Amino acid sequence: MKEIDVFRQWNRKRHEYATAWQKRTGGKVMGYFCTYVPEEILHAAGVLPVRVLGSHEPQNVTEPHIFAMFCPFCRDCLAQGLKGRYKYLDGLMIAQSCLHIRQAYTSWIKHVPVGFSYYLCMPHKVQSRRAYPYLRGELEAFRKAVEGWTGKQISDKALREAIAVYNENRRLMRELYDTRKQAEPPVSGEEVMEISLAQQMVDKREHNEALRKLLAALPRRKRDRPAGTRLMIIGSEDDDIDFLHMVESLNKEQYPATFVVDEHCTGSRYFWNDVPEDKDALMALSRRYIERPPCPTKDWEERKRIPHIMKLARDFGAQGAIVMQQKFCDPHELDTVAIRKELEKQGIKTLFLEFDVTVPIGQFRIRVEAFLETLKQEDLF
């Protein structure tokens, strides 16, 4: 469908998009590593934030820089930098989250220098009341640094406009997700992944426009296969379109299945909550990033991810959950046991998979088919 193809094109031609944007607007492009980066400040400064993702190709350039015990995603990301695929970046930044991805950032700025780099000390204890004024202070420092870099003041007005654009984007995405609550969702999980990945790479105004068109067209859309088993996918960074494609194109008589919701930082965690109303724009941002669905690195002492996941499962009618993570991802490994336990307790069966740079489609297909079979048997008895 052409309203979805536009997202797919953005995603597939991410570098072409960014260089064309740069040329067209004369603005700067900032590569970023973690979705805790307060993009609104960049947007307000006329900067395009672009999330750095891997390319899913085997590579041999990161071994001198990152010890192999760290996740394949951080190595794949660094490889993109070392291979010069992001040469057009004017700046590169990270918001503090896991140790793995941090290495992609620190090695990149050392060996592939960029004009501006920034490490934002995003707090980990988001459950502490002390995190609010602290993050506000860090955001203020960041705003000043961006002003110094671009040579332009970021006015409160610009910040509020950026917040409005971003909140609009979040609202439209939630609206898209709402359509997946239908008995026969008009979009597949694979398609939604294309849309949410594009969301992290393109100008939000353009993304909003495309989303509006898509949402207008969706009521007339009917997919050519039954929704079948309603699946949820939960876990770490995941841009493995091939995997979702495989699951959603299994034999439709025998194993029909559709992903109806996700809990990924490349998906719903990224946009789920809005920036709240607050006279102080920076405090509003601070509240938004502190209160968003947390990355496991920040989900302590209480586990707040779990009630959020359970609510998603209920709201979207998930019948089974695929719990995935990047291989060697310690933060997710520290959540997985508790998450699976709670899901199973609520009658939602889970399948656990570890993702690497390339997905062993054959091995995973066998496991997913077996999983779907067990879910069907549940229905029978």
Cβ contacts of 310 within 8 Å, gap of 6 or more: 342, 343, 346
Is 63 near another protein (CB under 8 A)?
yes
DSSP secondary structure letters along 75-142: HHHHHHHHTTTTTT-SEEEEES--HHHHHHHHHHHHHS--SEEEEE---S-TTSTTHHHHHHHHHHHH
Is 374 near another protein (CB under 8 A)?
no
| Residue from 13, 16, 25, 58 in contact with another protein (CB under 8 A) | 58
Is 357 near another protein (CB under 8 A)?
yes
Per CB under 8 A, the segment of 13-21, 97-105, 172-180, 311-319 that binds another protein is 97-105
Question: Where do the H-state alpha helices sit in 272-348?
Answer: 281-291, 305-315, 330-345
Between 310 and 349, how does the x/- string for binding to another protein read (CB under 8 A)? ------------------x-xx-xxxxxx-x---------
Is 297 near another protein (CB under 8 A)?
yes
Q: How far is the CB of 338 from another protein (least distance, A)?
A: 7
Measured in degrees and rounded to the nearest 5, phi and psi for residue 94 equal -140, 150
Q: How far is the CB of 214 from another protein (least distance, A)?
A: 31
**CB 272 within 8 Å of CB 170:** yes
Is 137 near another protein (CB under 8 A)?
yes
Is 143 near another protein (CB under 8 A)?
no
| Complex with another protein: residue 316 or 364, whichever CB lies closer | 364
Query: For 334-340, which contacts have Cβ atoms below 8 Å and span 24 or more sequence positions?
Result: 334/296, 335/296, 335/299, 335/303, 335/305, 336/235, 338/303, 338/306, 339/234, 339/305, 339/306, 339/309
Is 148 near another protein (CB under 8 A)?
no
Residues in the chain: 381
Is 22 near another protein (CB under 8 A)?
no
Measured in degrees and rounded to the nearest 5, phi and psi for residue 378 equal -55, -40
Is 43 near another protein (CB under 8 A)?
no
| Residue from 28, 43, 100, 264 in contact with another protein (CB under 8 A) | 100
> Residue 271 to residues 143, 188, 265: CA-CA distances in angstroms?
21, 19, 9
Q: How far is the CB of 219 from another protein (least distance, A)?
A: 38
Q: How far is the CB of 10 from another protein (least distance, A)?
A: 23
Cβ contacts of 116 within 8 Å, gap of 6 or more: 30, 90, 91, 92, 149
Is 294 near another protein (CB under 8 A)?
no
What is d(CA 48, CA 203) in angstroms, rounded to the nearest whole number? Answer: 6
Is 272 near another protein (CB under 8 A)?
no
Is 157 near another protein (CB under 8 A)?
no
| Complex with another protein: residue 230 or 305, whichever CB lies closer | 305
Is 68 near another protein (CB under 8 A)?
yes
| Residue from 107, 208, 236, 286 in contact with another protein (CB under 8 A) | 107
What is d(CA 72, CA 101) in angstroms, rounded to the nearest whole number? Answer: 10
- Which residues of the chain form contacts with another protein (CB under 8 A)? 56-70, 96, 98-100, 102-103, 106-107, 110, 119, 121, 123-125, 128-131, 133-134, 137-138, 141, 296-297, 300-301, 303, 328, 330-331, 333-338, 340, 356-358, 360-363
